[in-house]
Amino acid sequence: MANALKITKNTEESVREFLKILLEKRKVKGVFTLKKIGKNGAVTYSLITKSDELNDAVPFYPLMPTNAGKLLSRITRNGSTTEPVAVIVKPCELRAFIELVKREQGHFENLYIISSTCGGVYPLKTATDGTIEKNLSDYWDAVKKGEINQDLRPACTACTEFTPYGADITVDLIGNTELEKKCFLLLNTKKGEELVQDMKGELVDRDFDKEKLKKFYAKREKAKNQFFNENTKINGLDDLIKIFGRCIGCHGCSKVCPICYCTLCMFDSSNLEYKPSKYESEVRQRGGLKIPPGTIYYHLGRLTHVGISCVGCGSCEDVCPVNIPLTLIFKKVGESMQQIFEYIPGKNITEKIPLVTYNEEEYTEIEG
């Protein structure tokens, strides 16, 4: 049985055209994708309803202005979309959305999910100083060859989850040497198959080039191990003070984190506003007290709250005004928590979040 649609044309153009046809044939009423806006061509996620507007869409642009999982949650938090919408997101964005749906912060129904194997994204600052545009051809060369581009977000160079889970359609990018000439849409679900009916193109029997992806995985895994090993240096309170000492308390990391969805973060609440007597006694005891206090408490608290669902997207580090290596810490600690529970966040919508499941027969070794 055919399980892919082959379009003999440049991949990004094909997808753009595919999306246009979806709108024109009213298969979907909206398309959620990255788009260039304004004079200076800033790239942002957009919800598009007119097919002409898709001319400026850049579905696979290597930038993540905001983790799309967070944005999809914003749109569907109070209920699924009443009309079908096609969304084009990166694998870690999809995983973040699934984690949010598990937390009742979003709805899947009526969304057609299109994702791709992902070569990673560049840091946000490359979008403001214009370097991203210059790097684009290098980026796609590396994707075609299945190599790691070193200028990416650190989170991306060390990401082994570059294949999406649960997408209706996956666009084959990594290792596809003919990106400019041929586009392959892999149809993973019935919804995906429905979507490509009446599309121009040829239905073919095709899967990922598994050998190529395996090689790419090995490269990423090696990079991840190197990346994580740097982290072994962070040990104990003194090292935490060194790392987090420069934190200015803007909590931007929490604001952009797709998993941090609390309306009022505990660390912004009145629970952490101390009475004058508390300051007085602390200062008396210690001689000196950092103001505002609780910097490390905040980061460790957030780590405990989101670690199990951290998809390692790197948004937190990218918005940090003082370049704290948050990805390193959150990704490493997050993955080690996830391993204990054999849990890959966002892999499977039916799999419950470990902390809301109870098995009588587990972790007896900890009891012991």
Sign of CA dihedral 173, 101, 36, 188: positive
User: Which parts of 188-279 are beta strand (E)?
Assistant: 202-204
Nearer to another protein (CB atom), residue 78 or residue 359:
78
312, 92 Cβ separation under 8 angstroms: yes
Q: How far is CA 366 from the centre of its chain?
A: 32
Residues numbered 99-158 forming contacts with another protein, rule: CB under 8 A:
124-125, 127-129
Residue 229 Cβ, how far from another protein at the closest point, in Å? 20
Residues numbered 314-333 forming contacts with another protein, rule: CB under 8 A:
318-323
Does residue 288 interact with another protein by CB under 8 A?
yes
Report CA-CA distances (Å) from 5 to 107, 164, 310, 338.
27, 18, 33, 35
91, 163 Cβ separation under 8 angstroms: yes
Does residue 172 interact with another protein by CB under 8 A?
no
The CA distance from 311 to 335, in Å, is 9
Residue 1 Cβ, how far from another protein at the closest point, in Å? 34
HSE, side-chain direction, 13 A CA sphere, residue 337:
20
Residue 48 Cβ, how far from another protein at the closest point, in Å? 4
Does residue 250 interact with another protein by CB under 8 A?
yes
Does residue 76 interact with another protein by CB under 8 A?
yes
Residue from the set 230, 280, 304, 347 that interacts with another protein by CB under 8 A: 280
Does residue 15 interact with another protein by CB under 8 A?
no
Nearer to another protein (CB atom), residue 83 or residue 211:
83
Residue 174 Cβ, how far from another protein at the closest point, in Å? 26
Secondary structure (DSSP) of 88-139: E--HHHHHHHHHHHHTTS---TTEEEEEE-------THHHHSSHHHHHHHHH
267, 301 Cβ separation under 8 angstroms: yes
Nearer to another protein (CB atom), residue 214 or residue 278:
278
The CA distance from 14 to 336, in Å, is 40
Does residue 22 interact with another protein by CB under 8 A?
no
Would you tell me how many other CB atoms lie within 10 Å of the CB of residue 220? 21
Does residue 235 interact with another protein by CB under 8 A?
no
**Nearest C-alpha neighbor of 122 from the set 104, 88, 148:** 148
**Binding range to another protein, per CB under 8 A, among 25-33, 199-207, 208-216, 300-308:** 25-33
Residues numbered 32-51 forming contacts with another protein, rule: CB under 8 A:
32, 35, 37-40, 42, 44-50
Residue from the set 275, 350, 358, 366 that interacts with another protein by CB under 8 A: 275
Residue from the set 1, 137, 236, 291 that interacts with another protein by CB under 8 A: 291
Nearer to another protein (CB atom), residue 37 or residue 204:
37
Residue 205 Cβ, how far from another protein at the closest point, in Å? 36
